[in-house]
A and B are shown apart, each in its own frame.
Chain A
Amino acid sequence: MATNVEETYLYSSPTTFKVSSKDGEIFDIDDSFINQSKTIKNMLNVLDIADNHMPIPLQNIKGTMLNAAIVFCKYHKNDLLSIPDDEDEDDFERDAYEPRRSDDISEWDKEFIKQFTVEEGTLFDIIMAANYLDIKALLAVGCKTIANMVRGKNSDQVRQMFNISYDPPGEGLNTPRNSVTSKESGDNQLLTTQEKESRCKTPSPELMYD
């Protein structure tokens, strides 16, 4: 019975909550954002947050991304109720391997996503933020833009676009030069095995992101 009371309290009256991002910035949230993101809806149902002054911490999302998500949800306030979820249907006869349409992006969304570029890694961030917040519309738009970028291009063009080398770092063509290290071979011999391993080790992915 307690959950029902909270739900009625949530949806009947327009309430505002506060959300703090990873960087410490604080944003105000409307009903439009709460209804579209399932995680926050569940959090508010589970947690008893009587005081609106205390911000809810979201440690996985940066401030800029959260601001963008709030802007996106304000624009799509009324649209989401009409769109059905096609992915959850269990049709045995539907051809799952047939490519879906990715031209369904509206003009406002195209201009919205032009802020986020591949080169800076912001597009990846917004997809991960949408995944964390469970905003289906934003996630679909992000995935479709990546698909549109890759569509109709050679492997070489894709490599140029994403700035990828064929071999992973530290292997194949990307191995560090041996000719220069051969001059300093005397120094290398004096090193202990632990230092050598530490130097030769490829950097862990955590270092790349932080």
Chain B
Amino acid sequence: MAMSVNDDSSEQPYCFDNFSLQQMDKSSYYQHMTEHKMDSGYLTFSSLSSSYISLQHFSSPTHSLLMQQPSDIPIDNERDLTEDSIQNIRFSSHEDYENYIKTKKYIDIFTRLSQHNAFHLIDKILTNLPVNDIKHCLCVSRNWYKIIGKYYWKQKEHKQLANVKRNLFSCERKSVYEILSQQTPLKQRRPLQQQLQQEHIQHHCLFIPTPVSMNNTTALSSQNHPLRPLTNLPYSSTPAQLTSTALTPIITSINNDQNVDPSNNDNHPFSRLLFSPSSTIVSPRKTYRYEYLKYLHGPTVPKRCPICSYISVVDINDQHGICSNPTCQNNFCYRCSGPYHPLSPCKIKTGPIMSPLKKRQPISPIFSSKTRTNLKRLLLR
């Protein structure tokens, strides 16, 4: 509408009445447009180069229409370009306004693509852009916010989660003894612990700072006790994997040791075992569980493993599940029940596998309590 009026008036005089552009012959229009540049077929004009609304007008919406540049406005040559005339010309009726919108230079790409249902093209454009540019694109207009908003929030959530996960996975896991050796605990307790350790080692050889000392005790007790060879394996592997079943031979071994050293019979050995600061005695299944709970952050929910249908722990935020079956140890994504993919969206379309217990059994409608009450209600009325 704001085409270069002076140039056109000599060649092809346009009249900007209400229905001028609708009644205009398309053939003459095409001839006119092909002179300048390539033809798009749309009602677009090349000579316009001005913003429709700038940010200054948001502060004063009452003056926004006044302050707009006159090039955007349908203008007749007869009238002057004073403010009052602009007010009168601009949108004197709804039809004029409609004409203005139709003939406005309409180059809004994202809304056009969305109107053509070409969302895969929007995807292709936005995959080239980083987050900050998409953030600027959100603020452009309301339509753009509706279109691009999905992509932006999805991307932002994924970025945050990815950073957290990277930090978790990057930290090197260390055994308890390495951490204890590096850490410097409070100064008052340090000598006490050392004293206790020394006492333990001297009296019973029960306290186990290293697996070597454990092997010494086993070597001593294996001669006497018949159950000893069954429980050799967990001792030799790591001290953290001490089993609860292995407690009884320890006590028996202690009893055997007491016979060797009869000087300290006063303290019960089991009480000292509980106070041991570094070594933790838990079942191997539990240790495995605590290990994978480190990798999952945030609240967790018990779900079913898609492979072995065993109970597994699933993170709520990321839907990252780990099977608690120590033989399976399956890392899976709960959304798609495929292998776990930390950074990419789901590509398999099989949904989460629901437990068969959740299926409600079909109850015949006659015998249910609700229908009975409803029938009563209806009959009374």
Contact = CB atoms under 8 A, between A and B. Distances in A.
Given A92-B347, A97-B158, A150 B341 contact: no
Contacts of B108: 162-164
Interface string B180-191: 000000000000
B109 A166 contact: no
A209 interface: yes
A168 B143 contact: yes
Interface string B33-47: 000011111101010
A19 B70 CA distance: 45
Please indicate which of the listed interface residues A131, A144, A166 has the most CB atoms of chain B within 10 Å of its own CB: A166
B92 interface: yes
A151 B133 contact: yes
Nearest to A180: B92
Contact of A64 (B39, B64, B124, B341): B39
Q: How large is the interface on A (under 10, 10 to 19, 20 to 34, 35 or more residues)?
A: 35 or more
Interface string A182-196: 001000000000000
Nearest to A146: B125
Given A120-B38, A143-B125, A163 B52 contact: yes
A146 B95 contact: no
Contacts of A163: 48, 51-52, 104-105, 107-108
Given A92-B339, A124-B112, A164-B141, A199 B94 contact: yes
A107 interface: no
A64 B104 CA distance: 23
A102 to B, nearest CB: 4
Nearest to A96: B344
B380 interface: no
B93 A203 contact: no
Contacts of B113: 124
A176 B97 contact: yes
B126 to A, nearest CB: 8
A166 B53 contact: yes
Contact of A150 (B61, B90, B129): B129
Interface string A95-106: 111011110000
A95 to B, nearest CB: 4
Contacts, number: 188
A158 B51 CA distance: 10
Contacts of B38: 64, 115-116, 120, 122
Contact of A156 (B55, B65, B155): B55
Interface string B302-334: 000000000000000000000000000000000
B105 A122 contact: no
B305 to A, nearest CB: 18
A81 interface: no
Interface string B88-104: 10111111011001101
A90 interface: yes
Contacts of B216: none
B57 A119 contact: no
A50 to B, nearest CB: 33
B7 to A, nearest CB: 17
A205 B133 CA distance: 28
A127 B121 contact: yes
A176 B94 contact: yes
Contacts of B51: 159-160, 163
A181 B93 contact: yes
B22 to A, nearest CB: 9
B31 interface: no
B87 interface: yes
Interface of A: 62, 64, 90-97, 99-102, 115-125, 127-128, 131, 139-140, 143-144, 146-148, 150-156, 158-160, 162-173, 176-177, 179-181, 184, 199-200, 202-203, 205, 207-209
For the complex of A and B, 3 pairs with smallest distance between CB atoms: A92-B341, A147-B128, A155-B139
